[in-house]
Structure 1
């Protein structure tokens, strides 16, 4: 997906990619190899004619009058095609000076002059002689400064802007590398099949997708923060935080994706004739120019300790004006009730599940959903978690009978019914199509026999949603039926499973000729697989936020209260950056929904990255406390010992890469359904 989200920005990126490809950028790069004085004049003439480097320069000065975010979208598109000749330096200089020009910019005192070898105007922090060099990035001519007197400090705005716009280029590089690797994996054959069908290659491409989406989200947010500041809606601390997250994420990420691209390409990717090494060279150079990701991570820790968190506001562009007064009044009315009465009031108002259809919700569009979230949050009303009912009830709403809806929906919303999920089996976890629990026809219904496992809250559930095989002769995906099972029925035995935390949150459930009446079959026999994979068409749109997760906040707390040392503070900062990126992926999904678009790839990789964030941060929290772990007494989050709670969290998060589809299976899904790799 493009760095931009709005239709205008997506269209800008698409048109610029096509234009950039048409001017022969890679050919120009190869033709100028080894020429320190190469100025890529023909390419620059085309860039000037299009006004690409001056998109964020005021119209009164001959620019496009756009925002920093618009400029970043353009840079990403041009980096995707490896446009040479100083576009990045010119864009930075244009924003800083407010006028178009072929600028070279020295960002760090004593450091390289970005695009100084092709510039006609230099923005230097120190005086001295400038000499163009051929670096490893063959598409640029940066310059060195010799002599002169460096100033005491860098210009902070210049640094932040440079990181922000360079991150956009890193996003374009990562996107090209991902697309190139995937396209090759779809057609290259080895051992009698296309290499994209091999799980190792598929997983590598899926990991490239995760990284590329992270780079894109962080680059977008840095540019959005800069734009908000320019428009009077942001502040310096927010831009600095967003830029540091981009520095900690984008440049290492682009290098990793470029290296993985060469790995997927194999021998051809290692040749000089293939373009992959040109993108790796650009990524390595961008990383060198902006500086250490660890330095950015240490600044992130310092900012987080001082209370800074990334605050992302969603601009509803006035679409909320008509609905906000009623939403605010309703939220305030619910907040005024006794806590015990608030749930019923939420249900009656349709505010517990506003995305569900009436009478159980409001059939709310994305704007109304976000406004209701905002107003409930403002009033201090916390929605109760529906847990498994949040999966069961939408299926009943979409595919059940009127009688089933009348019987189950409202009681579930009110918390009068607790649900569990009877899907996984000892021999079929993620592979639900291979389940063996059988349902045989009996008078008035079905008799279910089999074993389910990993079933949360089965010991106290009133009802379970259950998949069972009703036609053993049908293909795997065809003979499965979706049942609603009364967990008090004869023939059900629930056995707790003790997990690595020492607690028993999961259960085994044994079904021995359990009778399920026909009125508890959802849809038709044989429809179970389809029902298990579908939810309501009107998906839930969450209010955009960039809050840190529990373990990351705990790591920040330890950084504030202990002398951790530089290495540990860097580790904390990287976890803050990753958690922020995970939240930003959700923000981008929300904004797409507001624009009337379906979710992009970021929504599909959010779970993969979110799991990594929660597991890594919870492990870091324990590691930061040194050998105290060896002396830990009773384990348990309720023990009152903070370390005991931290260890419990570390152990408990190990399930996240297994539950709801293992990380490995989800990478297969991402590879096949998002990237289009062969099965």
Structure 2
């Protein structure tokens, strides 16, 4: 999914793609590479200016289009996807950095020139050794920049220099001034020029000094827009790889049927979606408080810019030698990814910065709805305030989990429909996505109020709502919401884990119901469950996916034997369940005798959403504690924490983008499967980094902070809801459309 979410943003991206098709095909671009490297503008630049694409984010008061920075982000991303050559990105960045200065006269004058079509480049603070000395009527600047994208083509340069007092002076430079030399450099990205700017005692009058640009904000804005270009580059890559794997044949069949390539392509899509989400989050954070803006910008640098070169290299290897040839377009995108990543400096600076911020701040990815639905918000607030006066007095048998405790507080919230507000009344309040956000916001305002969890019932009860009778719903849903009934899921078998079509548990029709015999395994919480959702084969001769029924089983019924399976941490997280002549009444068969496969798919989809939501729990608590301690390893710990927070925040941003799509009325997308894979990767990285920093602390199982104990429980989360490998199969085949065997 591209950065743009609204119809207007999608139209803008489409317009850029059509413009590129008309004027800047890859063949035409290849023919002009030498001229571009020398700083010449593409022949179509004036038409692009006439259409206003370069100035969508500039105020209409200076001749711009009066849009927002997200509009410019859409332009930058779409241009990168189309490999549009020239200095569009550095020009857009210059306008955005100048915008940080607000109404400063020099900044406004610069924006007006950019709106007219003047190209530009920016020398960011510390990106060279420029030194500025104050004089009576201005400044004297000497020094050299580092390599700057678009410097040769620039009609104007916005530059930052260090002053004698250690501050920063921002000023506008005319590259044609006799004191200015721009040296051409052989750029890695062949579609944009690179140059080094030398200033030899350049006199800058006060009228060209720009006041009000915050140095950190300038870097953040530049990183955010560059990340959008990286996301566009990756998006082209995903499309190219998908097409190649569908059509290229080896051994008489498309190579897209090979599981190894399917998994690699699916991970490319996952990482591209995370890169896009992080870039989008950085753009929307430019107007947020400085800490939030910087956290999002660092996340974009780490998640979009830094990994892009390696992801393009992965794509190249999937193409084989074809992708390594000069004639194939892939190397042009690969070169662009390398250059973009280099343009914002070493990645460790961004990860260290995010790690430092992560010790004291949390990225706020919540959506702000303002005064929308004020009446509904007041009703929710009144219920939550009453709940704060109550307590839950019965702990969960599953352990010390406050969100699973039961009592008056939980019952009040359940009866008010706030445990699953998107469900229809009386089980929920039929909340739209916008109203669900309001409820989340009101809970967030009351941190002392723990929002209850339905646990495993969270993904089973929706199936009951879809296919259960009203009597069964009334019997089972209210006590489940209050926590009086607990659930387990009886799907996996010793010979049928993720492959539900291989189920051997049999359900035979008898008077008034079904007689079930079989053996289930890896069943979480079976020893504490009152009811279980069970799949059993109802027709042994039907096609494997068609002869399956979905049953609700009373776990206290005769013939059920539960045998706990002790896991690596010494606790029985899983169970074996043996069913011997277990009777299940007809009313506990959901749907028809052959509807189980479809109902199971919906259950597992809900399970992936619930498990993907684990990202809302901070898994880096121990690591965060460790990096707060002084010592020689702290710097490495800060970088590791920054990388993990960047990954986690990207998953959160992915969820926010999906929520916005739903609010706008779009159908649910593939975010749940992508988030499930990303969450598995995040958990592995988190515990790996924690163990590496913990050192001898990991020699003891139970410590404060807890290091090894949660690590030993990790496999349950990696396996639950389908392993990463199974999810990659789903992404490759169901989302990317790669061929099955």
Q: Give the TM-score taking structure 2 as reference length.
A: 0.85
- 2:682 is aligned with 1:613: yes
Mapped to 1, the partners of 2:214 and 2:65 lie a distance apart of 28
Counterparts of 1:241-280 in structure 2 under 5 Å? Answer: 241-280=295-334
CA contact (8 A) 1:395 1:536 kept: no
Residue in structure 2 matched with residue 31 of structure 1 by the alignment: 31
Please report how far the alpha carbon of residue 277 of structure 1 lies from its aligned counterpart in structure 2 after TM superposition: 0.5
Q: Give distance in 1, aligned partners of 2:439 and 2:640.
A: 37
Aligned mates of 1:433, 1:23 — CA distance in 2:
52
Identify the range of structure 1 (662-671 vs 609-618) with the bigger mean alpha-carbon deviation: 609-618
Contact 1:20-1:81 at 8 Å conserved across structures: yes
Q: State yes or no: 1:115 paired with 2:177.
A: no
- Residue 384 to residue 203, structure 1, CA distance change in 2 (3 Å): same
Do structure 1's residue 334 and structure 2's residue 387 form an aligned pair? yes
In 2: Cα distance, 1:295 partner to 1:540 partner:
34
Q: Could you tell me how far apart the structure 2 residues matched to 1:241 and 1:351 are?
A: 32
Structure 1 window deviating more from structure 2 (195-204 vs 47-56): it is 47-56
In structure 1, the residue matched to 2:717 is 656
Do structure 1's residue 525 and structure 2's residue 593 form an aligned pair? yes
Residue of structure 2 in register with 1:131 after alignment? 183
Matches of 1:148 and 1:577 in 2, distance apart?
41
**Corresponding residue for residue 321 of structure 1:** 374
CA distance in structure 2 between the aligned counterparts of 1:282 and 1:532, rounded to whole angstroms: 44
Residue 692 of structure 2 is matched in structure 1 by: 623
1:125 alignment partner, SS class? strand
Is the Cα–Cα contact under 8 Å of residues 310 and 547 in structure 1 kept in the other structure? no
Q: Which residue of 2 aligns with 1:594?
A: 663
1:86 match: 87
Distance 1:64 1:675, change over 3 A: same
Q: Equivalent of 2:248, from 185, 188, 199?
A: 188
Conserved in 2, the CA contact under 8 Å of 1:255 and 1:280?
yes
Q: Hey, what does 1:377 align to over in structure 2?
A: 444
Q: Which of residues 326, 346, 351 in structure 2 aligns to 1:297? A: 351
What are the superposed Cα offsets for residues 240-261 of structure 1, whole Å, 9 maximum, x if unpaired?
A: 1211111112112221231122
Work out the CA distance in 2 between the residues paired with 1:539 and 1:490: 28
Q: CA deviation at 1:347?
A: 2.2
* Partner Cα separation in structure 2 for residue 616 and residue 330 of structure 1: 39
Structure-2 change in CA distance of 1:619 and 1:545 (3 Å): closer
Q: Is the 8 A contact 2:615 2:651 kept in 1?
A: no
Contact 1:366 1:593 in 2 (8 A): yes
- Quick one: distance in 2 between partners of 1:492 and 1:535? 23
Q: Which residue of 2 aligns with 1:283?
A: 337
Moved more, 15-24 or 579-588: 15-24
Aligned equivalents of 1:539, 1:59: Cα separation in 2: 48
| Cα distance in structure 2, aligned partners of 1:487 and 1:495 | 13
Displacement of 1:506 in angstroms is: 0.7
Q: Is the 8 A contact 2:608 2:673 kept in 1?
A: no
TM-superposed CA distance for 1:148, in Å, is: 4.1
Q: What's the CA shift for 1:519?
A: 2.2
Distance 1:328 1:57 in 2: 40
Per the alignment, do residues 622 and 133 of structure 1 end up closer, same or farther by CA in structure 2, a change over 3 Å counting? closer
Aligned with residue 646 of structure 2, among 552, 577, 580? 577
Distance in 1 between the 2:15 and 2:670 partners? Answer: 21
How many Å apart are 1:281 and its aligned residue?
A: 0.5
Q: Is the CA contact 1:311–1:545 (under 8 Å) kept in the aligned structure 2?
A: no
Matched, 1:312 2:372: no
Deviations 1:146-187 (A, max 9, x none): 464899x99433322211111110010010011111011111
- Aligned match of 1:51: 52
CA-to-partner distance for each residue in 1:499-518, whole Å, 9 max, x for gaps?
A: 11121111001111212222
1:138 counterpart SS class: coil
SS in structure 2 at match of 1:240: helix
In structure 2, the residue corresponding to 1:342 is in which secondary structure? helix
* Corresponding position of 1:69: 70
Q: CA deviation at 1:578?
A: 1.1
Question: Which is richer in strand?
Answer: 2
Residue-by-residue CA offset, 1:23-45 (whole Å, 9 max, x unaligned): 12423431123344251331322
- Look up the match of 2:704: 642
Shift of 1:607: 1.0
Deviation at 1:656, TM superposition (A): 2.5
Q: Any conservation in 2 of the 1:206–1:671 contact (CA below 8 Å)? A: yes
My pick for the range that moved more, 594-603 or 615-624, is 594-603
- Measured on the aligned residues, the alpha-carbon RMSD in Å equals 2.5
Quick one: distance in 2 between partners of 1:185 and 1:354? 42
Q: CA contact under 8 A between 2:149 and 2:194: conserved in structure 1? A: yes
Report what 2:218 is aligned to: 158
Contact in 2 for aligned 1:546/1:584 (Cα 8 Å): no
Distance 1:659 1:596, change over 3 A: same
Residue 538 to residue 550, structure 1, CA distance change in 2 (3 Å): closer
Q: Which runs of 5+ in 2 are unaligned?
A: 99-106, 129-144, 162-178, 205-212, 393-406
| Structure 1, 202-211 or 612-621: larger mean CA deviation | 612-621
1:555 aligns with 2:623: yes
SS in 2 for 1:507: strand
Going from structure 1 to structure 2, the CA distance change for 1:341 and 1:540 (only over 3 Å counts) comes to: farther
**Map of 1:357-436 to 2, 5 A cutoff?**
357-379=424-446, 380-436=448-504
Aligned residues, how many? 662
Partners of 1:248 and 1:293 within 8 A in 2: yes
For the structure 1 residues 236 and 501, does the alpha-carbon distance in structure 2 shift closer, same or farther, using more than 3 Å as the test?
Answer: same
Retained in 1: the 8 A contact 2:55–2:65?
A: yes
